[in-house]
């Protein structure tokens, strides 16, 4: 009787377990295959987006200056500005040549060699509107002994007639510089094509080709079709696993597309190998099911119950103490994974509550490595402080509805936050229409932090031009911001209580920065003498003046910043 019951129990247990293992293995394999393919697709898009961003950034510099040249089109008194812009374009990194031709030169090329006074008259010619008509494919320039890409901008009168043409040639190797430094460019199958699929460049892992889809490959044809419909995407080739998987990403500043390929078996290699191991393990699991249930069942239930109670605590917003890892099996791994998850949630909440929403995650993780960043309190050290404020915003806000006022401020701060993150600034707080930022050298020299702060302030002012252009298009008043930059000793750390703390700075230097910022005119940047002394070799100063700052007995020497270039070798 007992033996019969044991047999029946064994049969009733083994059959469900066998079916469950088979179903779980199949479902897990399908899910894991889908997950690995999805992960590769997402990773490929992120890699391609980063590479496209690098190219767009290098194309953006000459394009931005060309657009500034366009802005002088309808004015009659801007020859100096146009000549200045042309010279600035010529001086940009990677620019090989700049060619400005007016209508008579386009009709009579033989007249191209004009004298300086004739060129001056040409620069005074007016045009009604302009745009960048095309970006050429790379072609070899024998004069420059390099491949160049030409940005062609056509200048037209009110009737749409061609008045002139501005052509800016940029070295192709300059545009590709950041991409070729990425490790995956050489190790993966990656290429750059134009909108028609013509190959412009490809990695060493690809054989030389002329046209995407020319070989009749269905994957390449599918990618070519998707490129016409979407700015980015992926496509799986035929087969199970697919022979090849492809992804693409379109550049914003040029009609080019980056494409990446990977073999399907290479992507799915972990689960293809695991499939065989799973079948073997399933057989062993079935053979020892009863024994495992008898020996481990009770202990397993207790362990799962303990983890379940801890999960409920997390769901209720309370983080339990670290679970003791009682074994090295799957349950032990689950306990270790749970502990890592809770630690990650603690760190996420600590970053959110202490450093706030407006700090670059890379900077936040660097700060987390410092022991004092986790403690309440702080330490004295030298930092560089930046404060900006919108001039006359109170009067502007009175002419707008509350919703429009908040909308304008949100768009303004989104532009400023992006620039501040770019230069690794730490946002302390927003004060109405102002923002307080500091640049922490983190045990290094103060000079690099000062350079980042000054570069950030210049970029913030440059950002105001397209922002105001957008406001004008919306029928909203333009805004100007004044910025002050100062270096001094403050207390840096977690300010608040054990229940609510925020990473920031306090001290006299903060008040000094606010006073210095108040001296800046709209669209201007004023720096203090300590900042000037740190960066004097690279600064271009518009003028210097002295001012009585509240709370300071002696007059302070202040400088109106015009530009800054990092000295060579710095």
What are 277's two structure tokens?
Answer: 């191991």
CA angle 244, 248, 249 (to 5 degrees): 165
341 and 395 both lie in a single domain: no
Task: State the DSSP string of 421-452.
Answer: HHTT-EEEEEETTEEEEEE--TTS-HHHHHHH
> What does the pLDDT profile of the chain (570 residues) look like in tens digits?
334 444 554 565 667 767 777 777 677 767 777 777 777 778 778 888 888 888 888 888 998 988 888 888 766 566 778 888 889 989 998 888 898 888 766 655 555 444 444 544 555 566 777 888 888 888 877 777 778 888 888 888 888 888 888 899 988 888 888 877 776 666 677 888 888 888 888 776 666 777 888 888 888 888 888 888 888 888 888 877 788 888 888 888 888 888 888 887 776 666 666 666 666 676 676 666 666 555 544 565 566 667 777 777 767 666 676 777 666 666 677 777 777 776 666 665 555 544 444 444 555 555 555 555 555 557 888 999 999 999 888 777 777 888 888 888 888 998 899 999 999 898 888 888 899 999 988 778 999 999 999 999 999 999 999 999 988 888 888 889 999 999 999 998 777 665 556 778 899 999 999 999 999 999 999 999 999 999 999 999 999 999 988 877 788 999 999 999 987 755
137 and 169 both lie in a single domain: yes
What is the phi-psi region of residue 206: left when phi exceeds 0, alpha when psi lies from -120 to 50, beta otherwise?
Answer: beta
Closest CA to 477 of 466, 489, 469: 469
Whether the CB-CB separation of 209 and 216 falls below 8 Å is answered with: no
Which pLDDT does position 127 carry in this prediction? 76
Whether the CB-CB separation of 203 and 191 falls below 8 Å is answered with: yes
In a domain, 3, yes or no: no
Distance CA 190, CA 260 (A): 4
Residue 300 burial by Cβ neighbours in a 10 Å radius (0-12, 13-18, 19+):
middle
In a domain, 570, yes or no: no
What are 317's two structure tokens?
Answer: 């917003």
CATH number at residue 310: 1.10.8
Distance CA 131, CA 373 (A): 50
Domain range for 44? 13-287
Please report, for residues 393, 507, 555, the alpha-carbon distance to residue 515 in angstroms, rounded to integers and kept in the order given: 18, 13, 12
Beta strands in 454-555 (DSSP E): 480-496, 501-506, 525-528, 539-547
367 and 281 both lie in a single domain: no
In a domain, 209, yes or no: yes
In a domain, 472, yes or no: yes
Whether the CB-CB separation of 449 and 440 falls below 8 Å is answered with: yes
Which pLDDT does position 539 carry in this prediction? 93
Closest CA to 557 of 532, 531, 528: 528
In this structure, the strands spanning 434-439 and 426-431 are antiparallel
Which pLDDT does position 360 carry in this prediction? 46
Which pLDDT does position 377 carry in this prediction? 54
103 and 130 both lie in a single domain: yes
Whether the CB-CB separation of 257 and 200 falls below 8 Å is answered with: no
Q: What is the dihedral of CA 271, 275, 277, 279, to 10 degrees?
A: 160
| Torsions phi, psi for 267 (to 5 deg) | -70, -40
Q: How many domains does the chain have?
A: 3
Which pLDDT does position 3 carry in this prediction? 43
Domain end call among 230, 264, 287: 287
CATH number at residue 504: 3.30.70.1230
Contacts 24+ apart (CB under 8 A), 339-344: 342/310, 342/314
Distance CA 493, CA 490 (A): 10
Which pLDDT does position 478 carry in this prediction? 86
pTM: 0.42
Within 8 A by CB and 6+ apart from 353, the residues are 500, 501, 502
Within 8 A by CB and 6+ apart from 82, the residues are 69, 72, 123
In a domain, 259, yes or no: yes
Quick one: how far is CA 213 from the chain centroid? 32
In a domain, 2, yes or no: no
What stretches of 140-190 show up as alpha helix (H) in DSSP?
Answer: 172-175, 177-180, 183-187
Residue 548 burial by Cβ neighbours in a 10 Å radius (0-12, 13-18, 19+):
exposed
For residue 310, how many other CB atoms are within 10 A of its CB? Answer: 20
Distance CA 514, CA 146 (A): 50
Distance CA 40, CA 118 (A): 58
Whether the CB-CB separation of 55 and 149 falls below 8 Å is answered with: no
28 and 100 both lie in a single domain: yes
27 and 108 both lie in a single domain: yes
344 and 363 both lie in a single domain: no
Domain end call among 287, 316, 342: 287
In a domain, 1, yes or no: no
In a domain, 558, yes or no: yes
414 and 503 both lie in a single domain: yes
Whether the CB-CB separation of 141 and 167 falls below 8 Å is answered with: no
Q: Which helix (H) or strand (E) is 73 found in, with range?
A: none
Distance CA 152, CA 168 (A): 7
What are 79's two structure tokens?
Answer: 């020859």
Whether the CB-CB separation of 125 and 69 falls below 8 Å is answered with: no
Which pLDDT does position 346 carry in this prediction? 63
425 and 537 both lie in a single domain: yes
488 and 342 both lie in a single domain: no
Whether the CB-CB separation of 416 and 404 falls below 8 Å is answered with: no
Distance CA 512, CA 485 (A): 9
Distance CA 78, CA 69 (A): 10
Q: What is the dihedral of CA 26, 31, 34, 38, to 10 degrees?
A: -160
What are 353's two structure tokens?
Answer: 């509550």
Domain end call among 287, 309, 333: 287
Which pLDDT does position 301 carry in this prediction? 55
322 and 411 both lie in a single domain: no
84 and 104 both lie in a single domain: yes
Which pLDDT does position 187 carry in this prediction? 63
Within 8 A by CB and 6+ apart from 64, the residues are none
């Amino acid at each position: 009787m007992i033996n019969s019951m044991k047999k029946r129990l064994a049969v009733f247990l083994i059959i469900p377990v066998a079916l469950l293992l088979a179903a779980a293995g199949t479902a897990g394999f399908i899910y894991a295959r889908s997950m690995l393919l999805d992960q590769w697709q997402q990773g490929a898009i992120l890699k391609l987006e980063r590479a496209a961003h690098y190219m767009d950034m290098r194309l953006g510099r000459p394009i931005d200056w060309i657009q500034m040249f366009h802005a002088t089109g309808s004015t009659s008194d801007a020859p100096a500005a146009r000549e200045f812009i042309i010279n600035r374009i010529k001086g940009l990194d990677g620019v090989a040549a700049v060619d400005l031709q007016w209508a008579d030169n386009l009709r009579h090329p033989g007249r191209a060699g004009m004298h300086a006074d004739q060129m001056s008259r040409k620069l005074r010619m007016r045009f009604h509107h302009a745009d960048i008509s095309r970006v050429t494919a790379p072609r070899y320039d024998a004069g420059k002994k390099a491949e160049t890409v030409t940005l062609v901008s056509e200048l037209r009168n009110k009737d749409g007639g061609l008045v002139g043409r501005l052509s800016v040639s940029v070295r192709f190797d300059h545009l590709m510089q950041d991409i070729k430094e990425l490790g995956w460019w050489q190790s993966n199958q990656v290429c750059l094509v134009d909108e028609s699929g013509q190959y412009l460049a490809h990695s060493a892992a690809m054989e030389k080709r002329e046209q995407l889809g020319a070989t009749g490959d269905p994957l390449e044809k599918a990618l070519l079709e998707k490129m016409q419909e979407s700015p980015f995407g992926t496509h799986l080739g035929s087969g199970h696993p697919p022979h090849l998987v492809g992804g693409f990403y379109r550049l914003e500043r040029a009609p080019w597309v980056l494409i990446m390929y990977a073999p399907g078996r290479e992507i799915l290699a972990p689960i293809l190998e695991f499939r065989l191991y799973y079948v073997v393990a399933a057989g062993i699991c079935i053979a020892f099911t009863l024994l495992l249930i008898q020996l481990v069942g009770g202990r397993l239930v207790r362990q799962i119950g303990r983890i379940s109670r801890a999960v409920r605590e997390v769901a209720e917003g309370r983080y339990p103490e670290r679970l003791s890892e009682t074994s090295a099996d799957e349950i032990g791994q689950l306990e270790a994974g749970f502990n890592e998850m809770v630690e990650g949630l603690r760190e996420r909440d600590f970053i959110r509550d202490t450093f706030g929403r407006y700090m670059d995650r890379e900077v936040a993780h660097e700060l987390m490595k410092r022991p004092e960043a986790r403690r309440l309190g702080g330490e004295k050290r030298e930092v560089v402080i930046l404060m900006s404020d919108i001039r006359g915003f109170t009067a502007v806000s009175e002419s707008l509805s509350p919703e429009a006022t908040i909308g304008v401020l949100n768009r303004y701060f989104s532009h400023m936050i992006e620039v501040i993150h770019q230069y690794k600034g730490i946002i302390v707080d927003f004060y109405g229409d102002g923002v307080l930022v500091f640049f922490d050298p983190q045990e290094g020299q103060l000079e690099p932090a000062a350079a980042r702060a000054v570069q950030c302030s210049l970029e913030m002012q440059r950002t105001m031009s397209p922002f105001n252009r957008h406001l004008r298009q919306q029928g909203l008043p333009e805004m100007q911001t004044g910025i002050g930059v100062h270096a001094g000793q403050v207390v840096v750390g977690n300010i608040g209580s054990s229940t609510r703390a925020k990473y920031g700075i306090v001290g006299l230097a903060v008040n000094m920065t606010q006073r210095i910022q108040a001296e800046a005119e709209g669209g201007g940047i004023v720096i203090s003498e300590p900042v000037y002394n740190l960066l004097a070799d690279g600064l271009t100063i518009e003028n210097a003046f002295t001012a009585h700052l509240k709370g300071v007995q002696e007059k302070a020497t202040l400088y109106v910043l015009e530009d800054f270039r990092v000295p060579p070798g710095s």
